[in-house]
């Protein structure tokens, strides 16, 4: 939902009168659960930092607050040196000068990170990844996607033993654990460290001579391996390969450590180690299919587009809107995130014999950024109007089905419904391709507190929620219907704890992300 950042006052003189404006920055991605981060690493390319930049560009949807790239280059006397460039903002804003790639971020190995903070203060520049340290065995850099569920305990233990933390991020405990290891091999040290952490992690690490990736035993977050000419790439989603014309090789398996070094470049054999003694059942985040990953990515063994369509089809089969008056039913999406789902919904509805058509009923502006509003306007209302407008001719007098992937707080959905209502449709039916969100996520997706969730507040009473949102009918997929829709990837292979409260690992239900704040 809409979060308003950086509210400041500006005095503007116009025609000799003083107008007071509020400068609002709408972070539109936060209307939905914000997740996670995007990670990217490459080994063996003369233009490693540039490829990392393109990779992060493709992964921008996974985090828009900040980003960074670290490269490994040989300095004077052939000593490896890590060079980093990081900043707040989008990839194109932080890397806005080609000199950065030509003269600063040189080297054949690079890792990068797009950040959306799920732990650690979003405001602290120190929390921008990749993090780098220099320790007993050389340099080390890390980029992390996911959330550690036992970081607080580990951090407390380490602090009690004298460790000094530089950031407020859960990721930093990983560096401390590696640096404190008494083992002599870096891969062994990493293995030892990640056996102590719990929760969700898709990690990319860079040492003086290796690119290393590790994925938690449950495989909550996606992670894939690819090849670009002779270089190897490890990243969050395959859409990063497509932008670079790189070839997809395989996914990093849950509980696996992958090592790429010079030997791998010459033999072509990726080094792989399993770090779990007993491999638990996979628990991929179902939200990656519902909303988070890009539809053009291939993750968890399947195309996201296919799974998203299936969710839309399941929604139509289980919760169709019929054309009782024989007039065409108009199906619309809430662009862009539910476009594919709406396509699936309409195709299936037609198959069921309902006379229907997919239409573009909402137009989304992609050019918002910082926006000025006058005092007196309802912030949320103007925010939604700046972002969306209706195509009135498409909606007027029609039975309209609006397909969306999820509802978090419900405040933006309510405003969108109001916009559609202003276009005078006959009726509005809201269909949601997931179950009601009732619980927080501890694995890297940032939902608001339980008390802010619409489903929690209405005790999942769908009729009451429909009244609040102002729609003629509202239907969600049930958890069973949702899991059935993605069953090709194995129903039991998914985490759906935010819909059910059934967490696959032990979690601290009193956890608040502020506990890391220094
Ligand atoms: S709790 Fe929800 S958002 Fe978090 S990993 Fe599980 S399914 Fe994904």
**Per-residue pLDDT reduced to its tens digit, 19-38:** 444 444 444 434 566 667 99
Quick one: which atom of ligand 1 is closest to the CA of 447? 3
Residue labelled with tokens 């063994």: 301
Contact 345 CB / ligand 1 (< 6 Å): no
How far does the centroid of ligand 1 lie from the alpha carbon of residue 237, in Å? Answer: 17
How far does the centroid of ligand 1 lie from the alpha carbon of residue 408, in Å? Answer: 13
Catalytic residue list contains 37: yes
Token pair recorded at residue 86: 């990081």
Q: What is the DSSP letter of 516?
A: G
Helix 304-318 and helix 339-351, axial crossing angle in degrees, nearest 10: 50
Q: What digits encode the pLDDT tens for the residues 482-491?
A: 999 999 999 9
How far does the centroid of ligand 1 lie from the alpha carbon of residue 497, in Å? Answer: 6
Contact 285 CB / ligand 1 (< 6 Å): yes
Mutate-to-test residue for ligand 1 from 307, 496, 501, 506, highest number of ligand atoms within 8 A of CB = 496
User: How far apart, in whole angstroms, are the C-alpha atoms of residue 90 and residue 87?
Assistant: 9
Torsion angle, CA of 240/241/244/245, rounded to 10 degrees?
-150
User: How far apart, in whole angstroms, are the C-alpha atoms of residue 434 and residue 285?
Assistant: 13
pTM for the model stands at: 0.90
Neighbouring CB atoms inside 10 A of 517's CB total 11
How far does the centroid of ligand 1 lie from the alpha carbon of residue 332, in Å? Answer: 26
Q: What digits encode the pLDDT tens for the residues 318-371?
A: 999 998 778 899 999 999 989 999 999 999 999 999 999 999 999 998 877 655
How far does the centroid of ligand 1 lie from the alpha carbon of residue 70, in Å? Answer: 29
Quick one: which atom of ligand 1 is closest to the CA of 442? 4
Contact 289/338 with Cβ under 8 angstroms?
Answer: no
User: How far apart, in whole angstroms, are the C-alpha atoms of residue 123 and residue 136?
Assistant: 31
How far does the centroid of ligand 1 lie from the alpha carbon of residue 286, in Å? Answer: 7
Token pair recorded at residue 330: 């108009």
Question: Looking at the predicted structure, is the pLDDT value of residue 379 above 70?
Answer: no
* Residue among 430, 257, 208, 448 nearest 341 (CA): 430
Contact 206 CB / ligand 1 (< 6 Å): no
User: How far apart, in whole angstroms, are the C-alpha atoms of residue 116 and residue 61?
Assistant: 10
Residue labelled with tokens 């309802």: 378
State the pLDDT confidence band at 14, using cuts at 50, 70 and 90: very low
Query: What's the pLDDT at 428?
Result: 98
Mutate-to-test residue for ligand 1 from 441, 442, 455, 486, highest number of ligand atoms within 8 A of CB = 441
Q: What digits encode the pLDDT tens for the residues 122-166?
A: 556 889 999 999 999 999 999 999 999 999 999 999 999 999 999
Query: What's the pLDDT at 510?
Result: 72
Chain centroid to CA 28: 13
State the pLDDT confidence band at 3, using cuts at 50, 70 and 90: very low
Exposure b/e, 474-509, CB count within 10 A at least 16 = b: bbbbebebbbbbbeebeeebbbbbbbeeebbbebee
**Residue nearest atom 5 of ligand 1, based on CA coordinates:** 285
Contacts with 367 (C-beta within 8 Å, 6 or more apart), sequence order: none
User: How far apart, in whole angstroms, are the C-alpha atoms of residue 412 and residue 392?
Assistant: 19
Max distance between CA atoms of the chain, in angstroms, equals 81
Look at residue 88 and give its three-state secondary structure. strand
Contact 286 CB / ligand 1 (< 6 Å): yes
Choosing from 37, 285, 495, 498, the catalytic residue is 37
User: How far apart, in whole angstroms, are the C-alpha atoms of residue 226 and residue 217?
Assistant: 21
Token pair recorded at residue 281: 């059942």
Question: Looking at the predicted structure, is the pLDDT value of residue 260 above 70?
Answer: yes
How many Å is the Cα radius of gyration of the chain? 24
Question: Looking at the predicted structure, is the pLDDT value of residue 18 above 60?
Answer: no
- Mean pLDDT (the chain) is 89
Mean pLDDT, rounded, for 264-292: 96
Contacts with 1 (C-beta within 8 Å, 6 or more apart), sequence order: 30, 31, 32, 408, 409, 410, 411, 412, 448
Contacts with 348 (C-beta within 8 Å, 6 or more apart), sequence order: 312, 313, 315, 316, 317
Contact 303/478 with Cβ under 8 angstroms?
Answer: no
Token pair recorded at residue 32: 């939905």
């Amino acid at each position: 939902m809409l979060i308003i950042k950086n509210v400041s006052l500006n005095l503007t003189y116009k025609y000799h009168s003083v107008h007071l404006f509020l400068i609002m920055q709408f972070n539109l991605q936060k209307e939905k659960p914000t997740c996670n981060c995007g990670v990217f690493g490459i080994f063996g390319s003369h233009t490693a930092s540039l490829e990392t930049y393109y990779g992060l560009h493709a992964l921008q949807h996974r985090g828009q607050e900040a980003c960074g790239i670290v490269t490994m280059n040989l300095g004077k006397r052939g000593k490896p040196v890590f060079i980093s460039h990081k900043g707040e903002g989008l990839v194109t804003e932080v890397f806005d000068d080609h000199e950065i790639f030509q003269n600063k971020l040189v080297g054949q190995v690079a890792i990068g990170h797009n950040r959306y903070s799920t732990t650690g203060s979003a405001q602290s520049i120190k929390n921008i990844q990749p993090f780098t340290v220099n320790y007993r065995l050389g340099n080390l850099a890390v980029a992390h996607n996911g959330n550690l569920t036992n970081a607080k305990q580990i951090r407390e233990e380490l602090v009690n033993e004298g460790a000094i933390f530089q950031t407020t991020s859960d990721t930093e405990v990983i560096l401390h654990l590696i640096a404190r290891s008494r083992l002599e091999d870096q891969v062994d040290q990493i293995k030892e460290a990640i056996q102590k952490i719990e929760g969700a992690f898709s990690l990319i690490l860079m040492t003086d001579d290796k690119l290393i990736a590790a994925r938690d035993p449950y495989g909550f977050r996606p992670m894939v391996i690819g090849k670009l000419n002779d270089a190897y790439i490890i990243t969050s989603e395959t859409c990063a390969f497509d932008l670079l014309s790189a070839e997809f090789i395989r996914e990093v398996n849950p509980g696996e450590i992958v090592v790429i070094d010079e030997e791998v470049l010459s033999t072509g054999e990726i080094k792989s180690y399993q770090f779990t003694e007993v491999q638990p059942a996979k628990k991929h985040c179902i939200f990656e299919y519902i909303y988070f990953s890009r539809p053009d990515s291939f993750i968890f063994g399947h195309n996201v587009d296919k799974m998203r369509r299936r969710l839309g089809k399941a929604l139509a089969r289980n919760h169709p809107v019929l054309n009782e008056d024989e007039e065409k039913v108009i199906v619309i999406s809430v662009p862009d995130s539910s476009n594919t789902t709406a396509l699936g919904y309409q195709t299936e509805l037609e198959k069921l014999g309902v006379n229907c058509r997919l239409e573009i009923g909402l137009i989304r502006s992609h050019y918002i950024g910082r926006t000025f509003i006058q005092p007196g306007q309802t912030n949320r209302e103007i925010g939604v109007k700046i972002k969306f407008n209706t195509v009135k001719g498409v909606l007027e007098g029609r039975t309209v089905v609006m397909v969306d992937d999820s509802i978090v707080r419900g405040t933006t959905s309510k405003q969108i419904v109001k916009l559609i209502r202003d276009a005078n449709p006959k009726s509005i039916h809201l269909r949601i391709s997931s179950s009601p969100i009732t619980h927080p996520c501890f694995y890297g997706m940032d939902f608001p507190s339980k008390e802010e969730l619409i489903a929690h507040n209405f005790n999942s009473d769908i009729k009451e929620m429909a009244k609040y949102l102002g729609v003629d009918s509202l239907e969600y997929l049930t958890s069973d219907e949702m899991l059935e829709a993605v069953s090709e990837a194995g129903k039991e292979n998914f985490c759906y704890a935010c819909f059910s409260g059934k967490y696959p690992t032990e979690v601290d239900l009193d956890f608040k992300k502020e506990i890391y704040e220094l």
